[in-house]
Structures are given as C-alpha cells and as structure tokens.
Amino acid sequence: MKKLLIALVATAAALSLAATAEAQEKLKACWVYTGPIGDFGYSYQHDQGRLDVEKALGDKVETAYLENVSEGPDADRAFERLAREGCKIIFGTSFGFMDPEVKVAKKFPDVMFEHATGYKTAENLGIYNARFYEGRYILGQIAAKQSKSGVAGYIVSFPIPEVVMGINSFMLGAQSIKPDFKAKIVWVNSWFDPGKEADAAKALFDQGADIIVQHTDSTAPLQVAEERGLQGFGQSSDMIKFAPKAQLTSIVDDWGPYYIGRVKAALDGTWKPGNVWLGIKDGAVKMAPYTNMPDDVKAMAEATEKKIIDGWNPFTGPIAKQDGTPWLKDGEVADDATLLGMNFYVKGVDDKLPQ
Amino acid sequence: MDITVNILLTIATAATPLLIAAIGELVVERSGVLNLGVEGMMIMGAVGGFGAGYLTGSPWIGLLAAIALGAVFSLLFAVMTLSLATNQVATGLSLTLLGLGLSGMMGTSFVGQPGARLPNLDIPGLTAIPVIGRLLFGQDPIFYISIALTAAVMWFLFKTRTGLTLRSIGDSHTSAHALGIQVIRYRYLAVIFGGACAGLAGGHLSLVYTPQWVENMTAGRGWIALALVVFASWRPWRVLAGAYIFGAVWIGQLHAQAFGIPVPSQLLSSLPYLATIVVLVLISRNKRLTMMNTPASLGQPFVPDR
C-alpha cells in the first residue's frame, strides 16, 4: 500500500511537471550522451556545449539530456523517449548511436536529429564531427621532441575509424620529427575505466615509454605520468589541474558554438540536415596551452597549429600504408570519406589492427 | 628487476579493491544474505572517500568516510531485506542502481578536482631494501589492511564461536532461530560489515588507485568481487587467490599488448575473467566440499515467528 502511494505521488508529480513544460512553449533541445556528464572528458564537453546553448539563448529554449546511454538497443528507447517528450531537436553524441538515430528519425519526421561522428544521414538527420586528428598530429610532433626513449605509450579504446585516424595522425606527426619514432599501443576495450587506464599507463611506462597518449576519457593516465615524473597529453578537456607538471597540452573539444548555431537555426525555422566536420580553424578543436616544454618545441607546435588553420591537412602525401604499399601520392590529400572509414594503419605503426 | 617489482606492485593495486569488497561480501553471504549491491556501496565509498578527503585535505579522513558511507548505505539494504523481508536480489540490484545515481549527484562539485592521495608506507631503512623493500614495506596502507582483513575473516569464521554461529545461520536460519540465536541481529552486523568493506574498496579507488572522482569510476568492479565470492566457493583464501589471479592476468595482458604480442586485444581483455574462473573452478572441483561451503539458506528471506 505504501509503495502504491509513493508511486501515485511520483506519477502525479511527473505529470504536473510535464504540464508546466508544455505551457511555456519553448523550443526543447535534447542531448543523449554515452558516458556520464561527470567524466570530465568527452561527454562532459558535450554537456558544456549544452550549457552554452542555455546561456546564449536563455528563455527561448529548454534543454534536457540523458546520460550513460549504452550504444545499442537501449539507445533506441532513449531517442524515442526524448522525441515523445516534446524535444524538437535531438543531438546524439556518440558513434554507436548512428543506427538507433536513423531508425527513430524515420518515426518522428517533425523532429530534427543530429548525430556526431557518424556517416548516415536522412531528411531530418544531420551529422557533425570534429577533426580531432588535426590536434593529434601536433601531439605526435611534441611527443617526438620531448621523448628521450623515442617510444610513446598510446592507450586506446575501440578500433573504430575515429581512433585509427588518431593513431595514424599521431604517428605521421612524430615521424615528421623523428622518422624511427615508435608507439606502443594498448587497447583497453572501454571508453571510460579510470582503473584500467591507469594500469595500462603503468604497463607502458614500465616497458620504456616515457610519454603517454590516450584515446580514452579519464584523467587517470596523466595522473600516473605525474606520479612517475614523466609526461603526457590530456584528452577532450584541459586536464592540467590533475597533472600540472606532466601535461604537455590537451585536445579540447568545444561544441558550444556549433550547438548554439544549430539550435538557433531550429528556432528560426532555417534548420536543414547538414554534414559538417569542424577543425581547429572553426574553433571546435582547441589546443590547451602548451606547457612543460622548451620554447622551441612550443614554437614548433604553434607553427604547426597555424599551418593547419591555414588549410594544410596532416593526411597529405606521400604516405604509405603499414605494409609499405603506397596510399597517397606526393601532395595528394586524403578525402573525408576515406578518413571517416579509416580501417588501416600507416607505415611505422607497431601494432596489428584488431578486426 | 625493477620492472618485475613495478609489475608486482601494479598487480597488488589492481587486486586490493576486489579482495576487500569480496571478503566483505563473503561474510555477508556466509550469514545467508545475498547482497547484490556491492557495486552501489563501493561507488558510495568512492564518492564519500574522495569528498571527505578533498574537503578536509586529509586522505585519512577520506578513508574513514569511505568506510562509514559504505556501512550506512548497506544499512538501507539491511532494513529492507532483514526487517521488512523484501526480496534480496531485487533490493540488492536497486541498491546498486541507487548508489550509482546518488553518488553521481553527490559528486557533481568534485568532478575535475584533483584530490588527496593516501601516501605509501615509508619506513626508514626498510623501504629502501632492494626488491623486497618496496613490496613489503612500501605499499599503500589499504593493501596492508586488505591482507590483515583476509586473515582476520579466516580466523573469525573458522576459529571462533561467533564465526561458527554466523555460518550456522547461513546454513539454516530456522534451526539457528530454534536454538535461540538472534538471526536478524547477526545478519544486520554481517551486512554492515560487508558495506564497510565495499566502502573501503571504493575508497581505495578514489584515494589510491586513481585519486579523483568521476561518475561510474568503479566500472563493474563490484560485480567482479561478487563473482569471486561464488567461484571461490565462500573460502577467504580462495578469494585472495582469485583477486590476485585476476589482477595478475589483467596486468599481464596489458604488458603483452604493449610488448606487441600478436594476439587479438579483445581476447587478451577477456583473459582475466576466463583465467580466474578456470582456476577457481579447478580448485573447487571437489563437489562435496563445495556443497559443504555453500551457505544453504543463501538469499532466502527469514521472518521469525513470534
């Protein structure tokens, strides 16, 4: 009986909340995150973008989000729920939300959908992504300059194009400074597990790496670097507070301007499904201050950053694939489609790509 | 030599939270209660430990807070399942869900803040001894607690009268009740002990392993601890072995990857689970002994007749 009462009260409260929400006639913009917003990494940065939208558009919008949504059938339900609750524009922020979003978008033709880091589109489904690989090239150059052992440790999550592209870009950057530079690669098969990431960092340092790079989302690897007096790079957000002596720089995702633009377009009725891939020059990828390195290394990093802003692409030939077969001719630039589907390593990567 | 010591230290760090949480749950299950809320109590310990350490600046206060929060949180489970006789499986699962959500809410302001780390033991003269110095005298304090705890629980369960009483309750709460043993009181204490251990394990994560607070930072370790208890057939020393086998294979596979061994990483990642299960199943292959060790009234609610 008591339970029933509680349930009734809860339902009544939920209903009254829903009623007030509808009465206000605001545009409801919603987000779906795969991690917790408290990861201080990837999902955290997306949520910062959502807060930017609230700040910029004030009482014209109402926002909502679902966090910790796993990439699978669960995601279908998450998107459908948001669409039914009156969200007019919905952002799915992880690669694995691609098929669920396509499916739900078909069911709700009046709702605008946006999907990050994927490649499928529809009448009411646009895609957006950031060129993180631009930043990773700079990381590679810094690593090659800073490393004494000539070996970097690279902690990675899953073998999806985004991650493979990052490894390749990092290696190209490093090889541009030291042609025989090596990276030891460890797959932890998780986007987010601080303990595992810390263990991987320790293993890599024990085997002679002296710089740590990560494509996972927690600050743990950098903390290990700090403890051991070695160096590394942050991920997604500026992690300097966790590693004041160890962080060299960090690739910071800034989704705010993009989200504000899209929600504004939705408000004006000018929204159309787009396909954008934003880089350093658009401000969506930012480099945290270059710290803990000599001035000449810093100058080199800044010069490369400027070169990329001026339109140079790290994937510019000549580049050979891992087995030595030529991929890009001298001066040839990789097209976006190839990059977004990247499933091979470039020459010099010392790992077998998991299939 | 140095690398071997480093690897052993890393294994100990990885095994410690599993061992502590599993030892606590072992006592709970020996009393006949199945608490599936280990993950939830652990994450509460993690957020409490980090929070108290961060706010007061003392990781030691953090350690105490972690234990206290785990214990208080388990009290919720105890009241529900023991006093109100709710279903233990459902209550335990909801404790995990509640813990994950509640800790996220409590920890909002700790995200992105570096915390205090518990210092490693440093005994002048002893810690500096080559090789064994750092292994025996240079680890974090919770490591020593975990070993002492395992020994204490072994002694308590099998060498003391109270331990015998606790085990008899786990085997048949009705018989124990008929003998005049206060079943519910024993179970309350066991559950709270389990909660305190899970809280301590969580504190190890946020004060030693990775000194920071992030949501979901336990990342399933509570579930591994639960599985360890079952596969170790409710014997403390087997839990210890299981936790260290898991830790060793886990760290070993990372080294294998870094070394460039051409084995698919997905297979390597699943090795710790496989190896631990295989080894523990092998050592518990004696059916009669396993049956003897299984608490017969595990998971059954007990309502004393008045």
Whether pLDDT at A22 is above 90:
no
User: Residue A352: its pLDDT value, please?
Assistant: 81
Number of domains present in the structure of chain A: 2
User: Residue A249: its pLDDT value, please?
Assistant: 96
CB contact (8 A) between residue A194 and residue B108: no
For residue A38, give the nearest of B111, B205, B264 by CB distance. B111
Asked if A204 has any chain B CB less than 8 Å from its own CB, the reply is: yes
User: Residue A2: its pLDDT value, please?
Assistant: 46
Dist. CA A76–CA B165, nearest whole Å: 51
CB contact (8 A) between residue B108 and residue A237: no
Which domains, and CATH codes, for chain B? 2-120+127-293 (1.10.3470)
Mean pLDDT value across chain A: 89
**Which residues, at least 6 apart from B202, have a Cβ–Cβ distance to it below 8 Å?**
B17, B41, B42, B43, B44, B45, B46, B47, B48, B49, B66, B70, B218
Are A141 and A111 found together in one domain?
Answer: no
A194 min Cα distance to partner chain B (Å): 6
CB contact (8 A) between residue B215 and residue A206: no
Are A141 and A93 found together in one domain?
Answer: no
**Phi, psi (degrees; rounded to nearest 5) at A172:** -60, -40
Question: Which chain A residue has its CA at the smallest distance from B4's CA?
Answer: A206
In a domain, residue A303? The reply is yes
Using the 8-state DSSP alphabet, how is residue B208 labeled? I
User: Residue B124: its pLDDT value, please?
Assistant: 85
In a domain, residue A3? The reply is no
In a domain, residue A86? The reply is yes
What is the arithmetic mean of pLDDT over A218-236?
92
Please count the other Cβ atoms lying within 10 Å of the Cβ belonging to residue A93. Answer: 25
Which neighbouring-strand residues pair with A186?
Answer: A155
In a domain, residue A320? The reply is yes
Please count the other Cβ atoms lying within 10 Å of the Cβ belonging to residue A14. Answer: 10
In a domain, residue A121? The reply is yes
Are A149 and A194 found together in one domain?
Answer: yes
User: Residue B132: its pLDDT value, please?
Assistant: 85
Are A155 and A191 found together in one domain?
Answer: yes
pLDDT band for position A168 (50/70/90)?
very high
**Phi, psi (degrees; rounded to nearest 5) at A181:** -65, 140
Tokens encoding A124: 């009411």
Question: Which chain B residue has its CA at the smallest distance from A198's CA?
Answer: B210
Are A26 and A89 found together in one domain?
Answer: yes
Whether pLDDT at A199 is above 80:
yes
User: Residue B281: its pLDDT value, please?
Assistant: 82
Are A86 and A216 found together in one domain?
Answer: no
Asked if A6 has any chain B CB less than 8 Å from its own CB, the reply is: no
In a domain, residue A116? The reply is yes
Asked if A288 has any chain B CB less than 8 Å from its own CB, the reply is: no
Whether pLDDT at A198 is above 90:
yes
In a domain, residue A268? The reply is no
* Residue spans of beta strands (DSSP E) within B10-112: none
Are A242 and A311 found together in one domain?
Answer: yes
Are A123 and A152 found together in one domain?
Answer: no
What is the arithmetic mean of pLDDT over A330-345?
89
Phi/psi-derived region of residue A236, left when phi > 0, alpha when psi is between -120 and 50, beta in every other case: left
* Domain final position from A130, A156, A191: A130
In a domain, residue A351? The reply is no
Name which residue leads in pLDDT, B75 or A26: B75
Which candidate in B79, B100, B207, B214 is best for mutational testing of the A interface (most A CBs within 10 A)?
B214
Q: Structural domain of residue A236, as residue ranges?
A: 132-252+287-340
User: Residue B269: its pLDDT value, please?
Assistant: 83
Set of chain A residues whose Cβ sits within 8 Å of the Cβ of B210: 194-195, 197-198, 218-220, 223
Whether pLDDT at A173 is above 80:
yes
- For chain B, residues with pLDDT lower than 70 are 1, 306
Whether pLDDT at A69 is above 70:
yes
Q: Which of A95, A93, A113 is nearest to A103 (CA)?
A: A113
Are A97 and A192 found together in one domain?
Answer: no
* Domain final position from A111, A130, A149: A130
Dist. CA A74–CA B181, nearest whole Å: 47
Residues on chain B bordering chain A, Cβ-to-Cβ distance under 8 angstroms: 3, 6-7, 10, 13-14, 17, 104, 107-108, 111-114, 205, 209-217, 219, 221, 250-251, 254-255, 257-260, 262, 264-266, 269
CB contact (8 A) between residue A68 and residue B221: no
Helices (H), ranges, A147-193: 161-177
Identify the helix (H) or strand (E) that includes residue A261.
helix A256-268
pTM of the model: 0.85
Whether pLDDT at A78 is above 90:
yes
For residue B108, give the nearest of A38, A219, A350 by CB distance. A38
Are A21 and A167 found together in one domain?
Answer: no
Q: Which of B162, B213, B199 is nearest to B76 (CA)?
A: B199
CB contact (8 A) between residue A194 and residue B259: no
**Phi, psi (degrees; rounded to nearest 5) at B142:** -70, -30
Asked if A192 has any chain B CB less than 8 Å from its own CB, the reply is: yes
Are A144 and A24 found together in one domain?
Answer: no
* Domain final position from A130, A165, A185: A130
User: Residue B306: its pLDDT value, please?
Assistant: 58
Are A86 and A220 found together in one domain?
Answer: no
Asked if A200 has any chain B CB less than 8 Å from its own CB, the reply is: yes
Place of tokens 């009734």: A8
Neighbour-count burial for B150-183, b at 16+ CB within 10 Å, e otherwise:
beebbebbeeeeebebbbbbbbbbeebbeeebeb
The CATH number of whichever domain residue A108 belongs to comes to: 3.40.50.2300
User: Residue B303: its pLDDT value, please?
Assistant: 86
